[in-house]
Amino acid sequence: MAAEPAAGRGVRVAISAWLALCLIASASADPAKTWTVTIENMQFTPQQLTVHQGDRIVWVNKDLFPHTATAARKTFDSGSIAANASWSYVAVKKGDYSYGCTFHPTMQARLRVEQ
C-alpha cells in the first residue's frame, strides 16, 4: 500500500478538527425552551419572567373568562384567550416588555428577553 503524501494527511486532519469543533459548538448551543405563564385568579403567574431570544412563552388561561396578554408597546398581543385555552409567543427581540390584560387593566406582568 502506498504512503499518503504529508500534505494530504494535513488537510484531512484540519478538516477533521474543523468538523469536531462544529459538532461541539452545535451541541453546546442552548436549545430554545418553552415557558408557561398561568392566568388564574385575575393574575399572571409568574408576574416576572426572564427568557432568552428564541424561547417560547405559552400563556394558559385557567380562569372562567377570557383574558389577553398584550405588551404595552404592542410588541405582542394575544387577542382574546378563551377560558381553558392558550396562546404562545416566540421571544425574538431583546428587551423588557410590560404587558397586561386589555380586559382587566389591573392585571400586569413583565417579560424580559435576554440574548
pLDDT in the model for residue 66: 98
pTM (two decimals):
0.75
Written as one letter, the residue type at 95 is G
pLDDT over 90 (residue 93): yes
DSSP string for residues in 6-42: HHHHHHHHHHHHHHHHHHHHHHHSPPP-EEEEEEETT
C-alpha cell at 66: 377570557
**pLDDT at residue number 10:** 53
List domains and CATH numbers for the chain: 34-114 (2.60.40.420)
Half-sphere exposure of 82 (CA within 13 A, CB side): 2
87 or 19: which carries more pLDDT confidence?
87
